[in-house]
Amino acid sequence: MLVIGGAMYDLVLAGGLVVDGTGARAQRQDVGITAARVAALGDLTGVRARRRLDVEGKIVSPGFVDIHTHYDAQVLWDETLAPSVLHGVTTAVGGNCGFSVFPLDPGSAEYVQRMLGAVEGIPLEALGLASDWEWSSFEEWVSRFEGHTAINVGFLVGHSTLRRVVMGDAAVDSAANDEQLAAMGRLLAQGLAQGALGFSSSWSKTHYDGYGNPVPSRTADAAEITALCEVVRRSGASVLEFSPGPEPFAAEVMDLMATMSTTGGCPVNWNLLLLDAEHPETFRQQMTAAEHAARRGGRVVGLTLPTALTLRVTMAGNRTFSNLPGWREVMALEGAELVRALRDPENRRRMAAVPAEALGDNFKRFVDWPAFTLAEPLAPQHRRYTGRVVGDIAREEGRDPFDVLMDVVCDDNLGTGLLPATPGLDEVTWRLRADVLRNHDVMIGGSDAGAHVDLIDSFNASTALLAASREHEVATLEAAVRMLTDEPARLYGLSDRGRIEVGAHADLCVFDPDRVGPGAVRGRNDMPGGAYRLFSEPEGIEEVLVAGVPVVSGGLISDERPGVVLRSGIDVVRAS
């Protein structure tokens, strides 16, 4: 038995199977907690404790570490950071893809809000109501919530935000001159000195601001990004993150990520490695970025998801339908006018006739009407269709699939949750995931929690991995826990987190290995201004502890707020 401290423990988790995060086999051990740290592991029968919690038959693991979120705005109105906390996450990192909410000046606040609304799918109304947006520095911003969060949070300095503050309107279409680059460097250094964990940027061609322009970082050249990585190296910060885009990597992208790592003196992680068994050439080529960087003495790590990326849309809230040929005029309407247009037989005939072959691979599933699943019908007469596929309903009732879909949508006043066909759930792709997840330079990540709130449910990546490990054998339980805890903690240099060992922070998750899973996804209007988002309450996550304090107990969020703001140089050391 390993023990530190005195004879009295604040809390003992008794009778559980400890999966410590290192990949070692599960062991039946009690966990003693004192002063927010793991104080003892072993048989603690008979020891004195202020509280003892029986977790027999359950897994006790380190709390999960999510290094790719966009909670920068949500933390201002929701200090629990739900739903992530419910899914076992005890540490989340924001400020990714070049989008932070600091530094800020009065002339940039509206721009940053509109950028987050457009590129990260966060409702503008919620952003505007979240705060007065009158801070300037990292320190001023975190003072709004520090000491009041359920989980630990850390943040990166975003390149697009830096550029906007320094260059104003010119940030989206002009190269930075020497004076502007020096000013960006000073602001970055200030944020890092105040505790920001690192620097993020993007060249992704999918990233546009709230005015339809490429986000500012897309205009920056490699020399500018490299110079800012040098600031990171001098500061001693430990994190670099980059969004290269979904297409195969050009030589300049491969070179940039390798240079970022060697210049910054730490690994670069990029988002998102999407697995496609039917078209493996893209992700296989992207994975060579790690080898390219290694040959130059750097490290580049791709973030991937544990399951297929499920899209959930509504006719009212998703712009994808507006981009379908022949749909734009109708989809420009709103409310009752749009419902009337979608009930019109002539409009339906024309809209249903969109040929799939005229669309790219990413859009074909949006015209496969029989394959849509009705995730959440709202009208009482249609609730019997919940979770059912449109084509099956149409065959049973002798109706046209498009009419079935449109009738439900219109009767629900456009609020029906719809799931287009989701590729990547076949057994071949599950085996592919298992293979890719064994790669040293691929990690679970990319949850995007806090972003695209009405479109994707990848915030449940942690529980989805645990379920996939049980149901599809993508990893052993011990390996899956390591992927969610120790691997991201080591990549980011988190001190004494990511493992259960004596002396470590008592950030822990207790779950039922036979039941754990992401839970049913439902829509709710609980953001500021009543804005809509997707949410799920997982199965099998029973207790989540931060600093030894239950922030989730019995599957419910508690009133405790023991989380800390993780700061570079204090809570985080140079990554490896």
* Residue 78 tokens, joined: 């929701």
Distance CA 405, CA 373 (A): 9
Q: Which run of H or E residues covers position 303?
A: strand 300-304
Q: What was the pLDDT predicted at 301?
A: 98
DSSP 347-403: HHHHHHT--GGGS-TTTGGGG-GGG-EEEE--SGGGGGGTTEEHHHHHHHHT--HHH
Distance CA 315, CA 337 (A): 13
Q: How many residues does the chain have?
A: 576
Among residues 375, 369, 370, the alpha carbon closest in space to that of 417 is found at 375
Q: What was the pLDDT predicted at 429?
A: 96
Q: What was the pLDDT predicted at 573?
A: 82
* Residue 182 tokens, joined: 């020096």
Q: What was the pLDDT predicted at 357?
A: 81
Is the dihedral angle over the CA atoms 527, 530, 534, 536 positive or is it negative?
A: positive
Distance CA 155, CA 72 (A): 8
Q: What was the pLDDT predicted at 439?
A: 97
Its pTM stands at 0.95
Distance CA 130, CA 265 (A): 36
Is the dihedral angle over the CA atoms 514, 515, 518, 521 positive or is it negative?
A: positive
Which contacts qualify for 285-292: CB closer than 8 Å, 24 or more apart?
A: 285/248, 285/249, 286/244, 286/248, 286/249, 287/436, 287/439, 287/441, 287/442, 288/249, 288/254, 289/249, 289/253, 289/254, 289/257, 289/258, 290/439, 290/441, 292/254, 292/255, 292/258
Among residues 348, 309, 108, the alpha carbon closest in space to that of 216 is found at 108
64-309+425-493: in CATH 3.20.20.140: yes
Q: pLDDT tens for the chain, 576 residues: list them.
A: 455 445 699 999 999 999 999 999 999 999 999 999 999 999 999 999 999 999 999 999 999 999 999 999 999 999 999 999 999 999 999 999 999 999 999 999 999 999 999 999 999 999 999 999 999 999 999 999 999 999 999 999 999 999 999 999 999 999 999 999 999 999 999 999 999 999 999 999 999 999 999 999 999 999 999 999 999 999 999 999 999 999 999 999 999 999 999 999 999 999 999 998 988 999 999 999 999 999 999 999 999 999 999 999 998 876 788 889 999 999 999 999 999 999 999 999 999 999 888 777 767 899 999 999 999 999 999 999 999 999 999 999 999 999 999 999 999 999 999 999 999 999 999 999 999 999 999 999 999 999 999 999 999 999 999 999 999 999 999 999 999 999 999 999 999 999 999 999 999 999 999 999 999 999 999 999 999 999 999 999 999 999 999 999 999 999 999 999 999 999 998 654
Q: What was the pLDDT predicted at 279?
A: 87
Q: What was the pLDDT predicted at 81?
A: 98
Report in angstroms the alpha-carbon separations of 300 from 73, 260, 271, 572: 28, 9, 11, 19
Q: What was the pLDDT predicted at 2?
A: 52
Is the dihedral angle over the CA atoms 471, 476, 267, 574 positive or is it negative?
A: positive
Q: According to DSSP H, which parts of 194-277 are helical?
A: 222-235, 251-264
Q: What was the pLDDT predicted at 318?
A: 66
* Domain extents in the chain: 64-309+425-493, 321-419
Given a contact cutoff of 8 angstroms between Cβ atoms, the answer to whether 463 and 541 are in contact is: yes
